Structure 1
Amino acid sequence: MAPSQPPMRLTEVGETIRRRWRVVVASVLVALMGAAGLSSLWPDEYTATAIVSVSPITPNPFGGTSAPQQLNMNTEQQVVRSTEVATAAAELLGSTRYTPRELTTRVSVTSPSDSQILQIAFTANTGARAAAGANAFAAAYLDSRVAGADELAERLISALEDRINELIEQQDDDASESLTAVAVQQQIIELRQQQSSLVTVALNPGRIIESATAPGSPSSPGLPVTLIGGLVGGLLAGIALALFRDRHDRRITHAARLRDLLGGSLVIDGTVESDRDEPYRHALLELTRLHPRSGTDGPVLVALAGPADGQVYEAATCLVEVAHSHRMRARLIDSDRMDMSAVDAGWPGSADVLSDWASDDLVVLDLTMITSRTRRIALARRCHAIMVAATKRSRRKPVQEFVGQLAVAEREIDLGILLPAERRTSAREFSGPKAGSDGMHARRPVPGDAAERSTGWPATIRPGR
């Protein structure tokens, strides 16, 4: 199982967005076009609001209190949106355009905190219908409360009537006691008065304090709002997509990723240099700094590997050419010319270095054609420095495998170089991929002229002096 990647820092997010700006721009453009199309298809809708003041219903006179009942405004909001009120509102509108259930989807109710106010909003395709719908719901809600209040009054009147009848029966039973009869009679009179009040005085459920009027402009979002929403949404989606693609991209794509693959080793980013030779000058400087040599020590041996097809070999030739321009004696040992039996026997050892390349300052061993992991690691361990060259389009897996193999051998990568996407020169022609390649090997170079073929290994590049 691959190790989980660490969370990205803010600077890394910015760099990712900069690298993947095309993804972000494409996402924004798609979102804007979608928003424009949606705005053209989205019908205009209008919203009107009626405001209702809700009054509490008078409590039961037998409850022992004259304070009004406490209203639960959340409950009242649900009552407004009930099917019963919607049915009454549909009857008031006198239209069969919407069913009561559809009407409930077009009404919304809010209530300011610590108040007994309901704000009933209704949405329709015209301002007049929106105002009519809001007023119809307000009236239907109050009618519903009136019906409820009347029902309560009827129950209270009936309860009072039952109590009066009980007192009359008690008065007949206690007719012999004059004082008791007087008290019962007085109580009957008071109950009659309460009953009369309930009959003659209507209970107040509330009132409409502000009727809805037809709005002059639609409440649905217009084109500017829709485009702004599309811009913001597209930008966020584009950033998320860019981060996702970058995090799951199997290619190296940038110098920071190659640096992570190499365990934090120095990586020279050749993609940002206008001078094609500058990355190799930098590499040569770092190699001589890391491995300074005297005239009697022999050359610095550099093992060069990488997953780029042909460009790794080109990087090796460029490094040698830059060394020549610095008046250094340098040569390139092509892996295609190496004697693998000699490699298995321990070549190049210290004796080989001093005998074969005693007058050289730098020897670059191109490992890209070696298919055997064991031989590749053995050669890398015998060199003073190990370089990995890759392009932004190179796959990460071969580099990871090479670094892992070196880690087992307790060797680290000394230097990495991210090559430009375009080739600097066409030093050699390359044939198709070599059979059995594991991804770390470049395409096989075709030997040059007949003299070079007859000379054989090792191929030598020397400065003209």
Structure 2
Amino acid sequence: MTVGDAIRLLRAHWLFIVLATLLGAAAGIGLAATRTPEFTASADVVITVTSGQTTGELAQGSTFSQQQARNFAAIATREIVLAPVIEELNLDTTVERLRRSVSASVPLNTSLVTIEATNPEPAVAAAIANSTANHLAETVAGLSPKVDDVSGSPVKAQLIESATVPRSPSSPNIGLFAIFGALAGLLVGLAYQVIAELSFARVRTADELTDTLGLTPLGTISRDRAAETSPVAVASAPLSVRSEQVRQIRTALKFLPGSDHRALVFSSAISGEGKSTTAMNLAAAFAAEGVSTCLVESDLRRPVLVEALDLTGGAGLTDVIVGDCELDDALQPWGPDDLQVLIAGTVPPNPSELLGSERGREVLDQIHRRFDVVVIDSPPLNAVTDAKVLGRQFGGIVLVVGAHRARTADLRRALTALEIADVPLKGSILNLVRDNPTPNAYAYSHNLAAHGAPQRASVWDNQRLRTVGKVALAAAVALCVAVAGMLLSSWTGNASNASASQASSPAVALGDPKPVAVLVGDSLVQGIGGDGTTWPSLVSAELGWDEVNLGRAATGYVTSADASACGHDTCPTFVEMADVVIAVDPDVVLVSGGAYDGDKDVAAASLSLFEKLRSELPAARIVVLSPMPVGNTTPDTLSKTASAVAHSADQAGADYLEVGFPLAHHEDLFTQDGKAPNADGYGVLADTITEAITS
């Protein structure tokens, strides 16, 4: 395949290739969606060596520390370091499994060891990285050789940068998955088109005929359903587009290079390409010019002229050749221009031998001498050898190519057969074209012709509409893939929303013996207005919980504030916090809020939250507190919100606790602006909520 073939292939099938690329990207995004998000945390340890006072000793010590850094980086993932990490953090894993999630590297020309740990839970990743770094430092001291003049170990390791809880997942990299998926889709699309081009491709346009086979067609003939009932458009619809196209081809045939083109042998690569209909139309077009024309049917195996032209069956070409009748007796006039037609006649058992015989050549030469133009309809080239015999006798063949019918492989085989038989190709005609390749400014309809007005070409023809449709389809698929990627990015990013909260107590996910409680809620849970002591911390201390506080001011079941309002980097709704809660795997989930939702309908959102928590945390206790106002007065809409939340909790199987609002009308329990409880107010709330939970 040449560069030109590749360019033509891309132009002809660009939509398929684009769609294959986009679908590959979508498959990559889908594959990323099946991967569990993982977080990577890193800690840095520096290796130092106790060295002398001279410049040479310092240089040697620096080189030695770099060598030791590389050695201890290899030790960082060995059992001597990882086993104590598992024991310290109470991890449910083995050294081999933990080794796959821990790596150590040394930047070039440094004594720095960077330890990275990867885990589905960000707090766990940070804890593993820090613990590994600490135990590596202990191991360095134990494995370093002793030097007589140095007290302690001459090689030391010190943690200089602790790992922090990562805020975004390190994998899956959605962009990378999408890029590799798109590349795979592109390769598959190109490979398929190349295979199809070599095996199943069909010619559709004149450009493809030229680019693929090097054939410049004499003209094109549009596909017309009327040809089934009126095959000769030159006679039945002389003012139609198809008739004008036939006349243009007639003119091209008259001026072909060479001395004698009065005998034209029409053939095709395979059957069904419309060679007989093309031959009939061109014969009628020549006759319409007033020249004596004869249409000869030499397709002796499947004759069609009798039925197509409504002729009388009987004697024909075979009968003249074998001497059963004279030529004048076999010729039949057809049409208003006295076109003479010689049908096939009696079907012989040996058509090729009959046409190639000396008598057969004499009869055809007799017809050639008698008429100004002889149009010969011959069988397909790939089926039988008849057309090649006739082409040798009359100096070449006119090849009719059916658009969307003939495969390029069939056409190449037909051209090769002509080359082997040394039969010239006079020209080619592209038939059955679905779209007229040239504007039909000179085509007239019968009604418009009567008024002398030409039919105007449509600006938005079928080809342009299809092109616009293809571009729109490709754009729609690209938009869907982009939206899917953004949604997945947002979904994987939700797990990082509680990074700041988890950073304060990373041991929550590491098997601490105390029950882990995650508290989801608004400003009352976050603790706005107090002196730092909140009712969640008081309740957790009273009940022996290890608390993870996800409170966000000005949020609710369907309401989300901006970062300036809640005081955190992200302010998700309660429903959007579900993935963060599930990632902690708590023993208790306590949900309190809804006042900021106002008069919004929270039924669907609250039910979705409670059902997801119950489904993903089957062993946890899900506790839902009745919504409480954040100020010293109760909004009228709060009762509606409370009713919806209570109903959702009952449906999902969560514990709904009615705690009322013990701070109502107690201005002394609020800050001066009356918008948030003070320390005493939070104490009253803690006592009320603790009693409701334990009762």
Which category describes the TM-score, using the shorter chain as reference length? 0.5 to 0.7
Please report how far the alpha carbon of residue 348 of structure 1 lies from its aligned counterpart in structure 2 after TM superposition.
6.3
Q: Which moved more, 1:120-129 or 1:78-87?
A: 78-87
Please report how far the alpha carbon of residue 35 of structure 1 lies from its aligned counterpart in structure 2 after TM superposition.
3.6
Do the aligned residues in 2 keep the contact of 1:303 with 1:387 (CA within 8 Å)?
yes
For 2:190, the equivalent position in structure 1 comes to 239
The equivalent position to 1:8 in structure 2, one of 2, 23, 27, is 2
For 1:119, the equivalent position in structure 2 comes to 114
* Alpha-carbon distance in structure 2 between the residues aligned to 1:342 and 1:148: 102
1:201 paired with 2:152, answer yes
Q: Note closer, same or farther for the CA distance 1:398–1:31 as it changes in structure 2 (3 Å cut).
A: closer
* Alpha-carbon distance in structure 1 between the residues aligned to 2:429 and 2:70: 68
Q: Note closer, same or farther for the CA distance 1:298–1:104 as it changes in structure 2 (3 Å cut).
A: closer
Please report how far the alpha carbon of residue 309 of structure 1 lies from its aligned counterpart in structure 2 after TM superposition.
1.6
Q: Note closer, same or farther for the CA distance 1:38–1:65 as it changes in structure 2 (3 Å cut).
A: closer
For 1:92, the equivalent position in structure 2 comes to 88
Cα displacement string for residues 53-86 of structure 1 (whole angstroms, at most 9, x for unaligned residues): 2235769xxxx99932533465544333334433
* Alpha-carbon distance in structure 2 between the residues aligned to 1:370 and 1:116: 80
For 2:104, the equivalent position in structure 1 comes to 109
* Alpha-carbon distance in structure 1 between the residues aligned to 2:188 and 2:161: 44
Q: Note closer, same or farther for the CA distance 1:75–1:421 as it changes in structure 2 (3 Å cut).
A: farther
Q: Note closer, same or farther for the CA distance 1:34–1:278 as it changes in structure 2 (3 Å cut).
A: farther
1:411 paired with 2:362, answer no
Letter in 1 for 2:416: G
Do the aligned residues in 2 keep the contact of 1:298 with 1:360 (CA within 8 Å)?
no
For 1:381, the equivalent position in structure 2 comes to 392
Q: Note closer, same or farther for the CA distance 1:343–1:207 as it changes in structure 2 (3 Å cut).
A: same
1:368 paired with 2:379, answer yes
Q: Identical aligned pairs, as a percentage? A: 21
* Alpha-carbon distance in structure 2 between the residues aligned to 1:32 and 1:57: 55
Please report how far the alpha carbon of residue 50 of structure 1 lies from its aligned counterpart in structure 2 after TM superposition.
1.0
The equivalent position to 2:23 in structure 1, one of 30, 51, 58, is 30
Do the aligned residues in 1 keep the contact of 2:198 with 2:409 (CA within 8 Å)?
no
1:356 paired with 2:367, answer yes
Please report how far the alpha carbon of residue 130 of structure 1 lies from its aligned counterpart in structure 2 after TM superposition.
1.2
* Secondary structure of 2:168 counterpart: coil
Please report how far the alpha carbon of residue 363 of structure 1 lies from its aligned counterpart in structure 2 after TM superposition.
2.0
* Alpha-carbon distance in structure 2 between the residues aligned to 1:35 and 1:19: 26
For 2:253, the equivalent position in structure 1 comes to 287
TM superposition score normalised by structure 1: 0.65
For 1:212, the equivalent position in structure 2 comes to 163
Letter in 1 for 2:5: E
Structure number with greater CO (CA < 8 Å, separation at least 6) is 1
Please report how far the alpha carbon of residue 282 of structure 1 lies from its aligned counterpart in structure 2 after TM superposition.
5.1
For 1:304, the equivalent position in structure 2 comes to 267
* Secondary structure of 2:429 counterpart: strand
For 2:216, the equivalent position in structure 1 comes to 266
* Secondary structure of 2:103 counterpart: strand
Q: Note closer, same or farther for the CA distance 1:285–1:236 as it changes in structure 2 (3 Å cut).
A: same
Do the aligned residues in 2 keep the contact of 1:403 with 1:412 (CA within 8 Å)?
no
* Alpha-carbon distance in structure 2 between the residues aligned to 1:278 and 1:27: 41
Please report how far the alpha carbon of residue 375 of structure 1 lies from its aligned counterpart in structure 2 after TM superposition.
3.7
* Secondary structure of 2:278 counterpart: helix
Q: Note closer, same or farther for the CA distance 1:394–1:91 as it changes in structure 2 (3 Å cut).
A: same
| Mapping 1:69-84, distance limit 5 Å | 70=64, 71-72=66-67, 75-84=71-80
* Alpha-carbon distance in structure 2 between the residues aligned to 1:371 and 1:202: 90
* Alpha-carbon distance in structure 2 between the residues aligned to 1:287 and 1:343: 24
Please report how far the alpha carbon of residue 334 of structure 1 lies from its aligned counterpart in structure 2 after TM superposition.
1.4
Q: Note closer, same or farther for the CA distance 1:410–1:116 as it changes in structure 2 (3 Å cut).
A: same
Letter in 2 for 1:51: D
Q: Note closer, same or farther for the CA distance 1:14–1:75 as it changes in structure 2 (3 Å cut).
A: farther
* Secondary structure of 1:414 counterpart: strand
* Alpha-carbon distance in structure 2 between the residues aligned to 1:37 and 1:364: 61
* Secondary structure of 1:205 counterpart: strand
For 1:441, the equivalent position in structure 2 comes to none
* Secondary structure of 1:115 counterpart: coil
* Alpha-carbon distance in structure 1 between the residues aligned to 2:119 and 2:410: 63
* Alpha-carbon distance in structure 2 between the residues aligned to 1:268 and 1:138: 80
Please report how far the alpha carbon of residue 213 of structure 1 lies from its aligned counterpart in structure 2 after TM superposition.
0.2
Do the aligned residues in 1 keep the contact of 2:222 with 2:433 (CA within 8 Å)?
no
Do the aligned residues in 1 keep the contact of 2:223 with 2:431 (CA within 8 Å)?
no
| Mapping 1:384-463, distance limit 5 Å | 384-391=395-402, 392-420=404-432
* Alpha-carbon distance in structure 2 between the residues aligned to 1:36 and 1:376: 57
* Alpha-carbon distance in structure 2 between the residues aligned to 1:380 and 1:224: 61
Please report how far the alpha carbon of residue 259 of structure 1 lies from its aligned counterpart in structure 2 after TM superposition.
5.1
* Alpha-carbon distance in structure 2 between the residues aligned to 1:94 and 1:396: 69
* Alpha-carbon distance in structure 2 between the residues aligned to 1:278 and 1:92: 91
The equivalent position to 2:140 in structure 1, one of 142, 145, 159, is 145
For 2:443, the equivalent position in structure 1 comes to none
Q: Note closer, same or farther for the CA distance 1:48–1:305 as it changes in structure 2 (3 Å cut).
A: same
Q: Note closer, same or farther for the CA distance 1:100–1:371 as it changes in structure 2 (3 Å cut).
A: closer
* Alpha-carbon distance in structure 1 between the residues aligned to 2:50 and 2:243: 92
Do the aligned residues in 2 keep the contact of 1:23 with 1:241 (CA within 8 Å)?
no
Do the aligned residues in 2 keep the contact of 1:329 with 1:361 (CA within 8 Å)?
yes
Q: Note closer, same or farther for the CA distance 1:321–1:148 as it changes in structure 2 (3 Å cut).
A: farther
Do the aligned residues in 1 keep the contact of 2:25 with 2:185 (CA within 8 Å)?
yes
For 1:184, the equivalent position in structure 2 comes to none
**Which structure 1 residue ranges, 5 or more long, are not aligned?**
1-6, 157-194, 425-465
Do the aligned residues in 1 keep the contact of 2:40 with 2:170 (CA within 8 Å)?
yes
* Alpha-carbon distance in structure 2 between the residues aligned to 1:31 and 1:347: 65
Q: Note closer, same or farther for the CA distance 1:370–1:66 as it changes in structure 2 (3 Å cut).
A: closer
For 2:230, the equivalent position in structure 1 comes to none
Please report how far the alpha carbon of residue 311 of structure 1 lies from its aligned counterpart in structure 2 after TM superposition.
1.6
Letter in 1 for 2:117: F
* Secondary structure of 1:49 counterpart: strand
Alignment root-mean-square deviation, CA: 3.9
Letter in 2 for 1:237: V
The equivalent position to 1:55 in structure 2, one of 48, 57, 72, is 48
Please report how far the alpha carbon of residue 373 of structure 1 lies from its aligned counterpart in structure 2 after TM superposition.
4.3
* Alpha-carbon distance in structure 2 between the residues aligned to 1:269 and 1:208: 82
* Alpha-carbon distance in structure 2 between the residues aligned to 1:50 and 1:87: 18
For 1:40, the equivalent position in structure 2 comes to 33
Cα displacement string for residues 329-376 of structure 1 (whole angstroms, at most 9, x for unaligned residues): 4443112354246523346658854x4354644322121169984543
For 2:658, the equivalent position in structure 1 comes to none
* Alpha-carbon distance in structure 2 between the residues aligned to 1:419 and 1:84: 80
* Alpha-carbon distance in structure 2 between the residues aligned to 1:334 and 1:370: 15
Do the aligned residues in 1 keep the contact of 2:382 with 2:410 (CA within 8 Å)?
no
For 1:162, the equivalent position in structure 2 comes to none
Q: Note closer, same or farther for the CA distance 1:127–1:352 as it changes in structure 2 (3 Å cut).
A: closer
Please report how far the alpha carbon of residue 215 of structure 1 lies from its aligned counterpart in structure 2 after TM superposition.
1.2
The equivalent position to 1:320 in structure 2, one of 269, 280, 283, is 283
